[in-house]
Chain A
Amino acid sequence: MKSGYRTFTIAGPEGVERLLRKIRGLYSLREETADDIDEQYLDTFDGRLSSRRLALRQTERRFVLAAFSGTPSEETEGPQKPRIFWQDFPEGKVKDMLAPISGVRALCPLFRVVGRRRHFRVCNRDEKVVLRLQLETGDLYVGEEKREAFAPRLHLEGMRGYHKQFQRVSEVLGENDCQNLEPGQTPVDLFFSQLQIRPDENKIRLCLGKDQTASQAISLIGQGLLAGMKRNLPGVLEDIDSEFLHDFRVAIRRTRALLSQFKQEIPPGQAGIFQDEFRWLGSVAGPVRDLDVCLQKEAIYRGLLPDDMHAGLSGFMEKIAEWRERQAVIMRDHLQSARAAALFANWSDFLSALPSKIQMPQGQIPCRKAARKVVRRCFLRLLRDARRTIRGDMQDVSIHKLRIQAKKFRYMAEFFRGFFPAPDMDALVSDLRGLQDDLGDFNDLAVQIRRFQEYGTALSLDRIAGETLDALLVRLEVEKKRLLKKCLKRCMQFMKQDRTGLF
C-alpha cells in the first residue's frame, strides 16, 4: 500500500535531469512508462467546484471529478461540448455530485494542462520498488492561448515499510532547491495560483474604512457593481447559462438601490438620470429572465399536472423556449446598443469623479454615519411594510412591496456590514434570508401566473397545449395561496424580535 505522498516543484527543466542524477546516485532509478497529459479543467463561471476544492478534469470523453487533493475521485464518460451541464452526464456518481453544486450553471473550460508525465520506480539492491516517482512537465493554456510552462513537479509516492527511502529522497530534493508544497496545498492549487484564478473572484469585496466619505463609499460600491455587470455581460451575450443574466440583473438592481438610497449624496439631477437608465437596462433584460425561470420550473409544473397532460406541457414549453430565443435576440441588441455602452461609460466616469465633487456637502460626511442612517431607514421601512402585509387586505401588492424593501435593506446591510456588530447582523441577515426566500417564491409564482396569461394570449397554442396551460394556471393559483400563508407566517416570525436597537 501507499504510505506518504509528497509533491515538489523543480526550478526549471534543467534542474530535472540534475535531480534524477542525484537520485540515481542513491538508488536504482528506472523509468517505467511515460504518457501525455492533456487535461482540460472545467468549472462554473462563479467557481462552484473550486470553491469546494473540487476539480473536474476532462480528457477527450473521460471526465474525472476529484478533490484537489486527488481523493476521493469519480470518473465517467461525458459529452465533448464547449459548455456542459450536469444533465449531460450519464447516470452515476459524477452526475449526482455535480447536480446540487453546479445547478443551472454551465461547466466551462477554465484552463488546459498539456505536457508529459514520466513514471519512475526507485528500487533497492534487491530490485524491490521502494518508492515511485511521477515527473510532470508541460504548459498551461487558457482557451487556445498558451500562457506559460508550469514548474516541473515531482510526485513522490511512498511504499509501506520503506519510509527511510522516502525521507532520503525528500531530503535530496529539499537540498537541491525543490519546493515542497505547503501544508494543505495541492498540485491543483499551483495551477490556480499560477494562472491567478480565485474561486471567489466574482464576489464584490468591499473594504470601507470608517474615515471614508459617503461619496467615496458610493464610488467604491458602484464600481464594484459595474465590474459585476461587465463581467457577466459576455456570458449574457453568448447565452452560456441563465445565471449570467441573473447576476447581471442583480448588479443592476443593487446599483438602482444604491442610487435611490443615496440621492442626497449625489449631485442633483444625476441620480435621476442614472436611475432611469438603469431601470431601462433592467427592463430590457426582464422578459428573458422571466422566461428562463419558467423553463427552469418545467419539472415542477410536470409534478403539478396529471400524466396525460405532460405531452401538452412539453408542447407549451417548446413554444416558451422559442419565444425566449426571440426575446434574447432583442435583449442582445439592447445590451450591445450605443445607449448601453454610453450608460456604462458615463456611470464609470461619474463614479470615478464622485469623491472629488466637494461641492456636495452631503457626500463629504463620513460614510459610517451615512450608512447608519440609510440602513436604519431601510430597516424601519421594512418593518412598516411587514406590518402592512400582515394586517392588509391587498396582500399580493403589499407582499411585492415588502419583497422590494427587504431587498433594499439586504443590499444596504451587505454593503455596510462592517459598520455593525457582526453576530447581530449575521443573525438578522440569516432570518431575513428565510423571509426573502418565501417572498421570492411567492413573487416568482405571481409573475409566472401573470406571464402565462400573457403567453396564452400571445402564443398560438394548439388545443392540447391551451388546455394544459389552463390546468396549470389553476394549480399555480392553489400553490400561490399556500405560499401566501407561508409568507405571512414567516413575516410574523420575523416581526417577533425587536431589532430596532441594532441601528
Chain B
Amino acid sequence: MDIIAIYSNKGGVGKTAAAVNLAYEASRSGMAVLLCDMDSQGAASYYFRVRPKKKFSDKKFLQGDINDFIRGTDFDGLDLLPALFSFRHLDLRLDKMEKRKNGSVFDTVFKTIAGEYDLVILDCPPNPTLLTEHIVRTADILVTPVIPTTLSILALQQLLKLTVELKIGHRKIKAFFSMVERRKNLHSATIEQYKKYPVFMKTEIPFLAEVEKMGINRQPVGAAARNSASALAYERLWQEIWQRS
C-alpha cells in the first residue's frame, strides 16, 4: 500500500482539488483507494457528500481505530475517511504522543487497512506543523501544488528545507503547477524559470471554472465532465505522478 500526501504549507493552492481528483483518477485506473481527509475544514468530505460518523474522534484516528469510520464514495474503488472538526487538535495530541515515542504515528494508523487498499491519499491541512512532519515521514510520495507565483514557490522551498532537516531527501516530492493562468505574465515567467527542476511534473493544472464548480457539483471533475480540460489534466497528472514514483 502506497501513501501519497497532498501537501503545501500555503493555503488555497488547490490541495483538496488535487487530492479529490487524483484519488478519483487512481480509482478509475483500477486501484483500491482510500482518501483520508485530514483537514479539519472537511472540504474533501464535502465534495464527496460524506459526513463523519458520530462516534469518530481524533483520538480514535491516532489510535488507528479507523476501520468502522471509512465510508464508500459514490465511485467504485474509492473510499473516504471523513475529516472531523476536532482534527484541528491533532497537533496537540501528537505533541503529547511525541514525548512517548519517536517516528511517525501514521505507520500505526494505516496498519489495519494495509491489505485492503492499494493506495492511501492524504488531503493535508496547510501550515508547517508537527502533523506535517509526521506526514512527510510517512508518505511515499509528497505531491505539492504550486501556483506559479512567488509565495507559492517560497512554500515549496520551505518544504524542501523541511525534508533536508528530516533527512528524507527530495526525491519523494512531486510538485506541479496548479491553477495556472497562462495569460498572466507572472505565471508564464515563473513556470519558465522553474520547470527545468526535476521536482516539477510536466503536467500543469489550469485555472478553470470546472474545478471551482466542484463545490456545486460535489463530485470530482472527471465524474461531472469526463472529457473536460481539467478532468483530462488531472488524469495526465495522475499518470505522470504514478509513472515517476
Mark A residues whose CB is within 8 Å of B.
1-3, 121, 126-129, 159-162
Contacts and interface: CB of A to CB of B under 8 A. Distances in A.
Contact of B79 (A121, A128, A160): A160
A161 B74 CA distance: 12
Interface of B: 32, 48-51, 53, 69-72, 74, 77, 79, 116, 218
A128 B50 CA distance: 7
A162 to B, nearest CB: 7
A160 B74 CA distance: 10
Contacts of A2: 72
B53 A161 contact: yes
Contacts of A127: 49, 218
A160 B49 contact: no
Given A1-B79, A161-B53, A128 B74 contact: yes
Nearest to A2: B72
A87 B90 CA distance: 61
B82 to A, nearest CB: 9
B72 A3 contact: yes
28 contacts: A1-B32, A1-B72, A1-B77, A1-B79, A1-B116, A2-B72, A121-B74, A126-B49, A126-B51, A127-B49, A127-B218, A128-B49, A128-B50, A128-B74, A129-B74, A159-B71, A159-B72, A160-B70, A160-B71, A160-B72, A160-B79, A161-B50, A161-B53, A161-B69, A161-B70, A161-B72, A161-B79, A162-B72
Contacts of A126: 49, 51
Contacts of B51: 126
A32 B116 CA distance: 28
B221 to A, nearest CB: 18
B71 A161 contact: yes
Given A1-B77, A1-B79, A162 B71 contact: yes
A21 B76 CA distance: 27
**Shortest Cβ-Cβ A-B pairs, 3 listed:** A161-B71, A159-B72, A128-B49
A3 B79 CA distance: 11
Nearest to A160: B72
B84 to A, nearest CB: 14
Interface centre among B48, B70, B74, B218 (most CB of A within 10 A): B74
A162 B77 CA distance: 16
A128 B51 CA distance: 10
Nearest to A126: B49
A126 B72 CA distance: 14
A126 B49 CA distance: 6
Contacts of B48: 128
Contacts of B218: 127
Contacts of B32: 1
Interface centre among B49, B70, B77 (most CB of A within 10 A): B49
A2 B116 CA distance: 12
B217 to A, nearest CB: 11
A128 B48 CA distance: 8
A126 B82 CA distance: 15
